[in-house]
Amino acid sequence: MSDKLTEIMAWKRREIAPRLRPVDEAELAQLDHAWPRGPSFAGALNRTDGRLAVISEIKRRSPSAGEIKAGASAVAQAIRYQQAGADALSILTDEKFFGGTLDDLRSVAAHFSAQPPAQPCLRKDFMVHPLQVLEARQAGASAILIIVRALADDEIKILAAAAQAAGLDALFEIHHERELAIALRHGAKIIGVNNRDLAIFKTDLGLSERLIPLFPSGVIAVSESGLMSGGDARRVRAAGAQAILVGEALMRAADPTALLAEFRAA
């Protein structure tokens, strides 16, 4: 694990420690039964028309880019993305490093629940415990993120099972062939290649070009980070990506509708 990722994961474990309690699969299954489900995240990415799906991210800042769009309204940005044709949303809920909160997810999901059509939302955070899965389900998420390189094997197993019990999809994030093997061993159906190496903050779309062709049939392939133009989208699409996850470029764009159209046309 990279030094920065080590720092972030250590902080996340300290941050959630005061509210930790046991959360088992039975409680998550009961929650899933009692609460209405959001739209399918996997379904939004697995398009039948062959078009590249776009996951549009709400991200105010990041360790690599610094301030991106300080003070941005999560709901206003989500509406902008929906109107521009986004297939799904990724909402950062980490406050210390990314300027997001769980309330961002709650407010966006509540808005689309009251004013359809709904948008499937990924809770983008550093997941380490089933309690965070429960929080995601209660807040209206359709999916959670599992960062393979950041977790022990038993933690991945527990989080994947918790997501399934809660009725959530899981986006497994990888950066290397060995992480792909781990994700597949845990039954991953959606795998994202993070093109940004958190060890050195270098972005290389070649990672998607190298790793996505190794994905078995039936796994939804996502390319994440460093996608700034339609040309970038075409590169990863040619490698087999079915979806892209874009944050910084869309948050900074003067005209996110035009940029989203570029991505969707890839």
β strands within the chain, DSSP E: 53-58, 61-62, 66-67, 88-92, 121-124, 143-147, 169-174, 190-194, 196-197, 202-203, 220-224, 243-246
Length of the chain equals 266
Site of tokens 């979806």: 243
46 classed as catalytic: no
Say whether 224 is catalytic: yes
User: First CA to last CA across the chain, in angstroms?
Assistant: 33
Which residue in the list 59, 62, 223, 262 is annotated as catalytic?
59
Listed residue (266, 236, 263) closest to 84, CA to CA: 263
Residue 229's φ and ψ, nearest 5 degrees, are -155, 170
Respond yes or no: is residue 194 known to be catalytic. yes
Catalytic residue, chosen from 12, 56, 135, 173, is 173
For residue 217, what are the contacts with CB-CB under 8 A and spacing of at least 6? none
Catalytic residue among 209, 224, 248, 262: 224
Catalytic residue among 56, 194, 195, 208: 194
Catalytic residue (one of 124, 142, 209, 262): 124
Say which of 179, 225, 248, 262 is annotated catalytic: 225
Please confirm, yes or no, whether 173 is among the known catalytic residues.
yes
Q: Which of 57, 179, 209, 262 is catalytic?
A: 57
Residue 73 bears catalytic tag: no
For 191, other C-beta atoms within 10 Å of its C-beta total 25
What distance in Å separates the CA atoms of residue 238 and residue 143, rounded to the nearest whole number? Answer: 26
Q: Which residues are catalytic?
A: 57, 59, 124, 173, 194, 224-225
